[in-house]
Structure formats: structure tokens, C-alpha cells
Amino acid sequence: MRPLVLAASFAGLALAAVPAAADTAVAGVSPAVAGLGAASGPAAAAPQMRLLPGWRTPEGGRIAAIEIRLAPGWHTYWRVPGEAGIPPSFDWSASKNLAAVGYEWPRPETFETEGMQTFGYEQALVLPVQLRPVDPAAPIEVVLAAAFGVCSDICMAAEAKAALTLPPDAPEEGRDEIEAALAERMRSAAEAGVVRATCAVAPGAGGDEIVATVTFARPVAPDQIAVIEPGRPDVWIGMPESRVDGRTLTASAPMEVIGAAGGAMIARDAMRLTVLGADEAVDIRGCQAPD
């Protein structure tokens, strides 16, 4: 069965060209605080978002972060919300002198929502972002529209707009918070000792399924699960069932092509596998065809 909200796939660590769907909010050189509008729910539960200006990189870009603060007992969602929830959407298209944006998502927590598995961040999310200007000698003028979901006993949609001008000599702010978030980043396949990742379409009981296998150089903890992102907007992939056998994790999930299909059902180079465990997360870009 399809999740209540389809999960969107975002740029992740790779820089994504602007305009595009992306992540962040901003205003002023000092951290900007933006109150968020909500479709429903108590005003006291409304989240607050600000941009941490961060610091300038040697290449002339900026390491910044989005900080979302929530009331106690509330959480917001990872880029893949899970079986229910609202995927985040961040639009930078009105910005000036901004060529690309990259994201370092921290490892999400796992929640149970009405018996469904969801992924996100409780009370606060600090999402590091890399801003790359067109002209490093000129200010980056960031204009952001953000939309995301927040949940407690009830769930609601939140949205915010903010703007920020970051000149090349903008002072450093928020390094401690950003570095703490970067310490929680997902490990790459090489860092985690991934030997091989494969994926293929196979017939299932209710239709087509995607089957992904990840083999590590070491035994896999039994609590590990996988999340599969198709890398193309016209393919929906449900929550996988994961199983561990020694050094290999296998995940199977229902999949469906939405609308008119063109070409192959999967694009292996664009697919993204995330292995989530109690103490770590692994971000795997692309997969191979099985033998």
C-alpha cells in the first residue's frame, strides 16, 4: 500500500543547481528567525526556523545551516518521511548569485506513527547546507520558501519564507551548532565498508518490486533497515522489508511508475540507498545490476 504522502528525493550531499527544490531559510547577516504558518493546530506548537550563517569556505562558498526548533513532543521529517508524513520542500529559485546548494542531512530518528514507521528529528533539526555562489566576490542574496510537516498527537503542514544577504566578509556565526550536526552526518559507502550494492526489478505478489542488496566488509547488525529512493520523479517506491544475513542486507519494496513511463523503470546511477541503524547511517549513491 502506498504511504500517505509520497516521499520526495532531494539533492543530498551533492550540489544541486538553482533553481530547484532544495532546503533552507534566511534573513540578515545575523541569524534570522522566521515564524512559520501552519494549516492547523495550536499556536504554541508552531515551529521556529532560522538560518545559521556559518562560515566562508576557501573556494568562496558558504557552509550554513537551517535550524528548525519545535515544541516539546513534536518532530519534523527527514527527506524521506517514511510510511506517513510530509516530505520537506525548499525552494531557492528567487535567490541571486546562488549557483548550487548541497545538503548534509544528519542521521534521522525512527518514530512510530499510528503503527507506521516514519523518520525525522525530535524538537530540533540543524541541517547543514553548502551555498555556492556564481561570483565568489559578490554577496549571496538568498531568498527561500520552505514547506515541511510537523507532528505530535496531530500533524500539520508548516511553511516559511525568509531572505538573507551574505557578503563575502560576513562574520562567522553558528559554527558549534553546525559542526555538531555534521558530526551526525551519514557515512559514505566507502567509509562504511560497503563492498557492493545491487538493485533490480522483480515480480512480487502485488506487482513489481525493487530488490536491493548491500554487502559490507563486516557483519551487519540485525536492526539495520534500508530506505530506497528511485532518483526519478515518476517512480514511487514504498517502504522496504529488510532482512540481514551475515554481511548482507536485502531490502524488497513495492514500486510503481506514475503516469506515462519512458525507458527503463530504474536508473541505477541515480538511485540512492540509505542503511539506517541504531548508531549509524550509510548513504549509498547508485547501485549495480546483480550477477
Expressed as residue numbers, the domain containing 192 is 187-285
Co-location of 20 and 94 in the same domain:
yes
Co-location of 173 and 117 in the same domain:
yes
With cell 524488497, the residue in question is: 252
Q: What is the pLDDT of residue 12?
A: 34
Q: What is the pLDDT of residue 45?
A: 60
pLDDT band at 84 (very low <50, low <70, confident <90, very high): confident
Closest CA to 162 of 180, 142, 181: 142
How large is the average pLDDT for residues 76-100? Answer: 93
> Which DSSP string corresponds to 82-122?
ESSS---EEE-TT-BS--EEEE-PBPPEEEEETTEEEEEEE
For residue 196, tell me if it sits in a domain. yes
How large is the average pLDDT for residues 256-277? Answer: 82
Number of domains in the chain: 2
CATH of the domain at 30: 2.60.40
Co-location of 75 and 195 in the same domain:
no
Please state whether the peptide bond connecting residue 19 to the residue before it is cis, i.e. omega within 30 degrees of 0: yes
Closest CA to 7 of 288, 279, 272: 272
State yes or no: pLDDT of 106 exceeds 90: yes
State yes or no: pLDDT of 59 exceeds 60: yes
For residue 161, tell me if it sits in a domain. yes
For residue 8, tell me if it sits in a domain. no
Co-location of 191 and 114 in the same domain:
no
Tell me what percent of the residues of the chain surpass a pLDDT of 70.
Answer: 83
For residue 118, tell me if it sits in a domain. yes
Residue 182 has phi, psi (to 5 degrees) of: -65, -30
For residue 251, tell me if it sits in a domain. yes
CA 139 to each of CA 20, 54, 136: distance values in angstroms, whole numbers, following the listed order:
20, 15, 8
User: Of 137, 167, 182, which residue sits at a domain end?
Assistant: 182
CA–CA gap between residue 81 and residue 79 (Å, rounded)? 6
CA–CA gap between residue 242 and residue 210 (Å, rounded)? 12
pLDDT single digits (tens) 201-226 = 988 888 889 999 999 999 999 999 99
State yes or no: pLDDT of 32 exceeds 80: no
User: Of 182, 209, 229, which residue sits at a domain end?
Assistant: 182
Co-location of 54 and 176 in the same domain:
yes
For residue 111, tell me if it sits in a domain. yes
Closest CA to 7 of 249, 257, 230: 230
Closest CA to 236 of 278, 207, 213, 269: 207
pLDDT single digits (tens) 118-155 = 999 999 999 999 999 999 999 999 888 899 999 988 88
With cell 544577504, the residue in question is: 165
Q: Which residue has the higher pLDDT, 249 or 232?
A: 249
User: Of 182, 206, 237, which residue sits at a domain end?
Assistant: 182
Co-location of 165 and 234 in the same domain:
no
Co-location of 56 and 113 in the same domain:
yes
Co-location of 88 and 195 in the same domain:
no
The number of beta carbons lying within 10 Å of the beta carbon of residue 37 is 13
Co-location of 87 and 125 in the same domain:
yes
CA–CA gap between residue 203 and residue 213 (Å, rounded)? 16
189 contacts: CB under 8 Å, gap ≥ 6: 197, 282, 283, 284, 285
For residue 7, tell me if it sits in a domain. no
Co-location of 94 and 70 in the same domain:
yes
Co-location of 81 and 151 in the same domain:
yes
CA–CA gap between residue 123 and residue 109 (Å, rounded)? 11
Co-location of 123 and 206 in the same domain:
no
For residue 1, tell me if it sits in a domain. no
pLDDT single digits (tens) 188-201 = 999 999 999 999 99
